[in-house]
Structures are given as structure tokens and as C-alpha cells.
């Protein structure tokens, strides 16, 4: 029986003497996975052992193309030498010290870099460790800002239908994906919900401009009536990710910004999924030159290496908290691992590669390649729409193309398609029956071709099975 080499030899002898089958069994016996029905996992277990470039390798040596950037994170591929080295170098200095009342070298340098890269309005960086916590912080910051400014009645938030901002209780309270959020309803605080201008699934309108203008009118109606009690509005930047990969029509985001300014409501932009080049700009807000009051970033910030997130804000908001301690205007929030040195060093190395390689420029070419590779899928009899914003893509599967009649959700056609893709050598996760395609920014043309071919084959096989052909 062969044993796996895990860790160094000493630890291998001590506790990690384990073969593949035992690992599978132990994963089922001891673990509980996020956003996973464990019964599904037990039917289709997968234990990743290593990665290289855009490939992941499991404990049996099977290779998989990383078609979802390991959940929308990875940028330059796995085991990037420069990021590896930056972490090792930092490790020789220190792994972690607290940011409560003190700073550290890489967190300072990263804060400066983030301010430099982000829109002009943003001047301060508050660290955390996941997208959800960066949103949680944004909400608390906005809420307290108004108290500190003497307007404590501004306490509520506006969100958009189908929004997803993470899974902490605050983040789900400004989230509106019913299938995830309704279970926790009584735990949540209530937000006002404005319609999302969904140009693909609108029940009665087809014209993009009309859909946009109607959504802005409804938002203005809410603001008119409630602005005196609203602290902020949370918006995913230009595309709703986990809500189904739906893209805002042109001009909507700018319209939201104008309305937030008009009604004195803080604009909180969530760039957790879209930041760091995913949409073809460093941040998706740049597509419409939106200037947020607060912006959240995570995922791609470390190139997909370590859990660093940040909430960026304006100098004006920062100043509302700056006073003698006894004024009790301090921002009462912080996590143990906030500003972790290893993560910040990885993020700095990651961002250096963007600059040196002119990565955002290079992404433009990849975006065009993906567009032409995905074009034939639009003609597939069970693909109702192919949506793409930069390197973020969603391919929606339906039972009947003409009427857009969905497959029965219980048939889980999206899920089964991704399991078929796994068999064919590529990993991703669906959102309902929408297949997410979000490869690392460094994926080559040849790798993109392979990925799309696998996706096409899996869609063909699974949809045929689903309709019983
Ligand atoms: N915000 C958006 C727009 C996201 O897409 C996500 C995760 O997918 C989050 C927040 C939550 O990020 P995390 O999973 O790092 O908590």
C-alpha cells in the first residue's frame, strides 16, 4: 500500500501516515464543508493534494483545470514562484502580530498600494480576512458614521434583489438570494430591497434602457420616502455573482451613484468578486467611473493565496471616527488575524506581478478569446444565455430555449453538468443551472480552449440525459 508524503518526514511519521482511501474516509468522517450538502460530497468525494499553474491535482494524481479560480480567487495560477517566495521571505521575519493598536510593515505597504490602485475617493484601508467580514465592516462603519455625525436615525440599508455579500449575519441581512437567506430570516436585520435591472430574466420588459430606467425610478421612490433613515446602499460592482451572474445594463450603476449622492446615502460597493482585474479593469467600478464611499475587496487580493480582505473608505468617513477616546467614536471592530503579515506580503507580491506584466492589458486579449470560444454555445438548444463580463462568465441551461422554461430544479442539471466536467478534467461549481466559468487571469489560450471544450461536452451529455435522449 502506498502512503502519501504530506508535510516533512518527521511529521509524516508522527501523524500523517495515510493512504488515499483513508483520506477519503477521514474527509467524510470528520469534515463539514461550506455550502455543501455532505450527502453530495460523500457521493462524489474529492481531495486535492497539489496544484501547478491552472491545474489542480487530487490524491490519486488526477488533474483538473481550475475553471473557477478555486472559487473566484486564483489569479496567476497555483504555486506562483514569486508569491511563494514572498511568503517564505516574510516567514523568516514574522508570521503574525496584531493590528490592534500597532501596525506591521507589509500591511502598511499594502494599504498604500490599495489606495493608489482604487478610485480617487478612497483613502483609508481597514483589513479583515474574508469577503463577508469586509462587508460586515462596511455596514458597521456606515451605521456608526451617521451616529458620529449626529444623525443616528440613519440606520437602515438598501440592497438589490438577488444580491450576495457573504454569509455572516450582517452580510446576509444585506443579501437577497432567497434560497440561501430565507432560512435565517429571524436572525437578520431588515433591509429595504430595490429591484435589480435583470435584462435576461425580466418578466415583462425587453429593452435594456427601459429596464434600467424602471429600476432607477423604483430605487428613487424608496430613497425619496426613506432616505432620512437610510445609512447606506450595498451594491455588487456591475455584476451579481452568486445571485446568478447577472450584469447591470449600461448606466445603471452611475445612476445608483447619483441617487445615493442626491439623497445623502453612503454608497457601499462590493468588489469582492470583481476586483483585481476579473472584469477587465482593476476594479469593475472603473467601467462607469463610480466613486464609492466604501469599497470592499477580498478574493483576488492575494492572488488566491491567503485570507486577506479590506474595506476601503474616504478620508471624510475616517475623520468622523477621529477624536478623543472619551468621545467614544472609535470604530469598535477587529479580528485576531487582521492585517496578517504573510497575507499582506502575498498580496504585495501579487500586485507587483500585475504591474510588471501589465496584466490588466493582457486580460483584454483573454476576454476576446473567451468571447469567441463561448460564441458557439449560444446556439446550443439548452443554453438560454451566455453572460460575460471580462473573465467572469455564466452559461445558463434551460429545458426549452424558446420559452426559457427552466429544468426542474430538483433535477440539478447544473450540478450534474459540473460533476460531468470533473470527470472530463475540469472543476467549477454551478449557480442553480448557470455554469460558472471564471478561469485564473493567467490561463493561456490553449488552456482556455481545453476548458471550453470540456464545458461544451459536459453540457451536451448532461442536457441530453436530462431530457431523456
Ligand atoms: N461579496 C461578493 C460579491 C461575493 O461574491 C462573495 C463571495 O463569493 C462575498 C462577498 C463573500 O466573500 P467570502 O466568501 O470571502 O466571505
CA 290 – CA 237 distance, rounded (Å): 10
pLDDT value, residue 73: 98
Domain's final residue, options 301, 331, 356: 356
Do the domain assignments include residue 2? no
Give every CB contact of residue 217 below 8 A, 6+ residues apart in sequence.
Answer: none
Q: Which residue has the cell 444580491?
A: 163
Distance 359 CA to ligand 1 centre (A): 23
CA distance 337 to 128: 7
Minimal-distance CA residue to ligand 1 atom 15: 131
pLDDT digits (tens, 9 = 90+) for 19-35: 999 999 999 999 999 99
Kindly report the pTM of this predicted structure.
0.96
Ligand 1 centroid–CA 13 distance in Å is 38
Find the 134 Cα to ligand 1 centroid distance in Å.
Answer: 9
Reported as a single tens digit per residue, the pLDDT across 303-353 is 999 999 999 999 999 999 999 999 999 999 999 999 999 999 999 999 999
Which residue's CA is the nearest one to ligand 1's atom 7? 166
Q: Would you say residue 13 has pLDDT above 50?
A: no
Report if residue 328 sits inside a domain: yes
Percent of the chain with pLDDT over 70: 97
Supply the residue whose CA is at minimum distance from atom 2 of ligand 1: 165
Boundaries of domain holding 147: 86-356
Q: Does residue 5 register a pLDDT over 90?
A: no
CA distance 276 to 282: 5
Q: Can you read off the three cell numbers belonging to residue 279?
A: 472584469
Q: What is the mean pLDDT of residues 155-171?
A: 97
Q: 350 and 364: one domain?
A: no
CA 323 to ligand 1 center in whole angstroms: 32
Report the pLDDT value the prediction gives residue 2, as an integer from 0 to 100: 59
Query: Residues near ligand 1 with C-beta < 6 Å?
Result: 130-132, 135, 164-166, 236, 241-242, 270, 272-273, 298
pLDDT at 209 exceeding the cut of 80:
yes
Question: Do the Cβ atoms of 277 and 353 come closer than 8 Å?
Answer: no
Whether residue 297 is found in the same domain as residue 409: no
In a domain, 92, yes or no: yes
pLDDT band of 367, cuts 50, 70, 90:
very high
Nearest-angstrom CA–CA distance, 131 and 110: 17
Taking the centre of ligand 1 as the mean of its atom positions, its distance from the CA of residue 22, in whole angstroms, is 32
In a domain, 434, yes or no: yes
Q: What is the mean pLDDT of the chain?
A: 96
- Give yes or no: residues 343 and 373 share one domain: no
CATH of the domain at 392: 3.90.1150.10
User: What spacing in Å lies between the alpha carbon of 10 and ligand 1's midpoint?
Assistant: 38
The enclosing domain of 339 has a CATH number of 3.40.640.10
Residue ID of nearest Cα to ligand 1 atom 5:
273
CA of 272 to the centre of ligand 1 (A): 6
Residue where a domain terminates, one of 356, 386, 413 = 356
Question: At residue 256, does pLDDT exceed 90?
Answer: yes
Mean local confidence (pLDDT), 414-426: 98
Q: Among 35, 127, 165, which residue has the most ligand 1 atoms within 8 Å of its CB, making it the best to mutate? A: 165
Tell me, what's the pLDDT at 182? 85
Residue 5 in any domain: the answer is no
Pocket test for ligand 1, best of 159, 162, 298 (most atoms within 8 A of CB): 298
Average the pLDDT over 364-381 and give the result: 98
In the reported structure, the alpha carbon of residue 131 is separated from the centroid of ligand 1 by a whole-number distance in angstroms of 5
CA of 273 from ligand 1 middle (Å) equals: 6
Do residue 295 and residue 164 come from a single domain?
Answer: yes
> What is the end-to-end Cα distance of the chain in Å, rounded?
43
CA distances from 232 to 169, 187, 362, 370 (A): 17, 20, 35, 36
Closest C-alpha to ligand 1, atom 13: 131
Q: Which atom of ligand 1 is nearest to the CA of 242?
A: 5
- Whether 47 and 120 map to the same domain: the answer is no
Q: How confident is the model at residue 10 (pLDDT cuts 50, 70, 90)?
A: low
Query: How high is the pLDDT of residue 6?
Result: 60
- For β-strands 434-437 and 430-431, DSSP reports them as antiparallel
Question: Above 80 in pLDDT, residue 213?
Answer: yes
Q: What is the pLDDT of residue 285?
A: 98
Is pLDDT of 83 > 60?
A: yes
Q: Based on the domain organization, do 324 and 388 belong to the same domain? A: no
Whether 416 contacts 459, CB under 8 Å: no
Type and span of the H or E element at 143: helix 131-148
pLDDT on residue 337: 97
Looking at residue 17, what is its pLDDT? 80
Average pLDDT over residues 404-432: 97
For 10, the enclosing helix (H) or strand (E) is: helix 9-14
235 and 315 fall within a common domain: yes
With a cut of 60, say whether residue 11 has pLDDT above it.
no
Distance 225 CA to ligand 1 centre (A): 30
Task: Say if residue 153 is in the same domain as residue 253.
Answer: yes
| pLDDT single digits (tens) 120-162 | 999 999 999 999 999 999 999 999 999 999 999 999 999 999 9
Split at pLDDT 50, 70, 90, the class of 168 is: very high
- For the chain, how many structural domains are there in total? 2
| Alpha carbon distance 280, 360 (integer Å) | 6
**Is 80 exceeded by the pLDDT of residue 14?**
no
pLDDT at 4: 63
404 occurs within a structural domain:
yes
Residues 163 and 297 in one domain: yes
What pLDDT shows up at residue 163? 98
Note whether 23 and 154 are same-domain residues.
Answer: no
Closest CA to 433 of 456, 407, 458, 469: 407
Does residue 3 register a pLDDT over 70? no
Looking at 309, 328, 356, the residue that finishes a domain is 356
Closest CA to 200 of 458, 398, 429, 411: 398
Give a yes or no: residue 269 inside a domain: yes
Ligand 1 atom closest to 298 (CA): 15
The protein residue with its alpha carbon nearest to ligand 1, atom 14, reads: 131
Report if residue 439 sits inside a domain. Answer: yes
Q: Do 427 and 334 have their domain in common?
A: no
Cα–Cα nearest to 294, from 319, 274, 267: 267
Q: Clarify whether residues 194 and 296 are in a common domain.
A: yes
Amino acid at each position: 500500500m502506498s502512503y502519501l508524503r504530506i508535510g516533512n518526514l518527521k511529521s509524516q511519521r508522527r501523524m500523517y501516515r495515510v493512504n488515499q482511501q483513508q483520506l477519503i474516509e477521514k474527509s467524510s468522517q470528520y469534515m463539514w464543508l461550506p455550502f455543501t450538502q455532505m450527502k453530495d460530497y460523500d457521493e462524489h468525494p474529492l481531495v486535492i493534494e497539489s496544484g501547478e499553474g491552472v491545474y489542480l491535482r487530487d490524491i490519486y494524481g488526477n488533474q483538473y483545470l481550475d475553471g473557477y479560480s478555486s472559487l473566484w480567487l486564483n489569479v496567476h495560477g497555483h504555486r506562483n514562484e514569486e508569491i511563494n517566495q514572498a511568503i517564505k521571505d516574510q516567514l523568516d521575519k514574522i508570521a503574525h502580530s496584531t493590528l490592534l493598536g500597532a501596525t506591521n510593515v507589509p500591511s502598511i505597504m499594502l494599504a498604500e498600494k490599495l489606495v493608489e490602485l482604487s478610485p480617487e475617493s478612497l483613502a483609508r484601508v481597514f483589513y479583515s480576512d474574508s469577503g463577508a467580514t469586509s462587508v460586515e465592516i462596511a455596514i458597521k462603519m456606515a451605521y456608526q458614521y451617521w451616529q458620529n455625525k449626529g444623525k443616528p436615525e440613519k440606520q437602515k440599508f438598501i440592497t438589490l434583489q438577488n444580491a450576495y455579500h457573504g454569509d455572516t449575519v450582517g452580510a446576509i441581512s444585506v443579501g437577497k438570494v432567497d434560497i440561501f437567506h430565507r432560512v435565517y430570516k429571524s436572525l437578520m436585520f431588515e433591509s429595504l430591497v430595490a429591484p435589480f435591472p435583470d435584462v435576461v430574466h425580466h418578466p415583462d420588459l425587453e429593452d435594456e434602457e427601459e429596464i434600467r430606467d424602471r429600476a432607477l425610478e423604483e430605487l428613487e421612490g424608496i430613497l425619496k420616502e426613506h432616505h432620512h433613515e437610510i445609512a447606506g446602499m450595498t451594491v455588487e460592482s456591475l455584476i451579481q455573482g452568486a445571485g446568478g451572474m447577472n450584469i447591470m445594463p449600461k448606466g445603471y450603476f452611475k445612476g445608483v451613484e447619483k441617487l445615493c449622492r442626491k439623497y445623502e446615502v453612503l454608497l457601499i460597493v462590493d468588489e469582492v468578486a470583481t476586483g483585481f482585474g476579473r472584469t477587465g479593469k482593476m476594479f469593475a467600478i472603473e467601467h462607469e467611473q463610480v466613486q464609492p464611499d466604501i469599497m470592499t475587496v477580498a478574493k483576488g487580493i492575494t492572488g488566491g493565496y491567503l485570507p486577506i480582505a479590506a474595506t476601503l473608505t474616504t478620508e471624510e468617513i475616517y475623520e468622523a471616527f477621529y477624536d478623543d477616546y472619551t468621545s467614544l467614536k472609535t470604530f469598535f471592530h477587529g479580528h485576531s488575524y487582521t492585517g496578517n503579515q504573510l497575507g499582506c506580503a502575498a498580496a504585495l507580491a501579487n500586485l507587483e506581478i500585475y504591474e510588471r506584466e501589465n496584466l490588466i492589458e493582457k486580460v483584454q486579449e483573454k476576454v476576446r478569446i473567451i468571447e469567441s470560444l463561448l460564441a458557439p454555445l449560444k446556439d446550443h438548444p439548452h443554453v438560454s444565455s451566455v453572460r460575460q463580463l471580462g473573465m467572469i462568465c455564466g452559461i445558463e441551461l434551460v429545458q426549452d430555449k424558446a420559452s426559457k422554461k427552466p429544468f426542474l430544479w430538483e433535477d440539478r442539471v447544473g450540478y450534474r453538468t459540473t460533476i460531468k466536467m470533473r470527470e472530463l478534467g475540469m472543476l467549477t461549481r454551478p449557480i442553480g443551472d448557470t455554469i460558472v466559468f471564471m478561469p485564473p487571469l493567467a490561463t493561456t489560450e490553449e488552456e482556455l480552449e481545453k476548458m471550453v471544450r470540456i464545458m461544451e461536452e459536459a453540457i451536451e451529455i448532461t442536457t441530453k440525459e436530462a431530457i431523456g435522449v
